[in-house]
Amino acid sequence: MTATEIKRAEGTQTRRKAKPDLPWNVILYNDWEHSMPQVVVILKKVIPGMTLKRATKIMWEAHSTGKALVKSCHRELAELYEERLLAKGLTVSIEPSG
């Protein structure tokens, strides 16, 4: 075998199709520490592109049912949002989507 043939053979053995990472959900839980307007303001500040209408809907769902989906995204970003929301005092967690 030539060097080129060896490289090709090695390349085919080690190549794997990258599986797309499943999205992770950022979950907000109801708490009695923050007022409803405070939660809306925090969501708008921490989550880029969050609208007032969407933040209000998320806050109300968490208030009425106990939890709400804030965002579904890749794991690293979900961890970042979780960290930032926790730093603001909200009760949140992340979990794999599905």
Q: Is residue 52 part of a domain?
A: yes
pLDDT (0 to 100) of residue 22: 85
Q: Is residue 24 part of a domain?
A: yes
Mean of all residue pLDDT scores within the chain: 88
Tell me how many domains the chain contains. Answer: 1
Q: Is residue 87 part of a domain?
A: yes
Of 3-12, 33-42, 43-52, the one with minimum mean pLDDT is: 3-12
pLDDT (0 to 100) of residue 69: 98
Where do the DSSP E strands lie in 1-98? 24-29, 67-73, 91-96
Q: Is residue 49 part of a domain?
A: yes
Q: Is residue 91 part of a domain?
A: yes
Q: Is residue 71 part of a domain?
A: yes
Structure tokens at 32: 């009695």
**Contact status, residue 46 vs residue 59, Cβ threshold 8 Å:** no
Q: Is residue 8 part of a domain?
A: no
Which CATH number fits the domain that encloses residue 46?
3.30.1390.10
CA distances from 29 to 2, 6, 11, 86, 94 (A): 62, 56, 48, 11, 11
- pLDDT over 90, % of the chain: 74
pTM: 0.78
Model confidence at 25: pLDDT above 70: yes
Range of the domain at 68: 19-96
